[in-house]
Amino acid sequence: MQVEAFNFQGQRFTNLDVIKKVHYENFSIFLVIDGFKQDEAVLTRQHIEQFVEELFRIVTSSTGYSQFMSFLKQLDKGFNASVSFLWLEKDKCHVGFCGDCRVYLNGNLKTVDHTHAWKMCSRKIMNPNVIGELCITHPYQNVLSKTIKDHECEIIDFDLQSGDEIFIITDGGWQHLHQKIINKECNPIELCNEIFNDNASGYYIKI
């Protein structure tokens, strides 16, 4: 398995993104946290670091996916960030995501883009409480509810085979790289040469 990690600060005063990976013989976890709320940067950073520490405190070589998910759901995720992860095990990938991180497999977008759903409702309504009420009837209600701090990550699964390429990437990255990724023109080793407007963090993984 080839892994390239990246965490670039764009034209922001601070970078609150956090990435972390753990690898055991039977499984690997790739965690990507997209932090925001720049005016509360110190507090947000503390909350994120505490969350990461608590989450991986229970992870050992014998931890199962169900056990990991159960503990993840119990943790407080009410801080100013979105949490996404990949759990790779044998020939299977489990993806948990909220907010507007994206996951691509061989150039194909595998996750629902929460940003678009939010914009559909916020185009004419600026009050987030009103937007929240729309979650009850809106066709993208499951997506919108995650965006407004529902503590349950949305989960998708897909099979893997040798040679597959995966990107898990924050919005600051995919907004800049989307076309290159879907055209399979994105070289992860050369990402340091890109100029990002926003913070860009995540992982490239080749099975």
pLDDT single digits (tens) 46-64: 889 999 999 999 999 999 9
Percent residues over pLDDT 90 in the chain:
47
Q: Which amino acid is at 171?
A: D
Task: Tally the domains of the chain.
Answer: 1
pLDDT at 161 exceeding the cut of 60: yes
pTM of the predicted model, to two decimals?
0.83
Q: Domain range spanning residue 77?
A: 2-206
The pLDDT of residue 150 is: 46
Q: CATH code at 7?
A: 3.60.40.10
Question: What is the full DSSP assignment across 22-51?
Answer: EE-SS-EEEEEEEE--GGGHHHHHHHHHHH
- Which residues, in sequence order, are bridge partners of residue 165? 206
Lowest mean pLDDT among 15-19, 105-109, 135-139, 184-188: 135-139
Which segments of the chain are extended strands (E)?
Answer: 2-8, 18-23, 28-35, 81-89, 92-97, 102-105, 108-109, 154-159, 165-169, 200-206
| CA proximity to 37, closest of 56, 12, 72, 57 | 12
129-143 pLDDT, tens digit per residue, is: 666 666 666 655 555
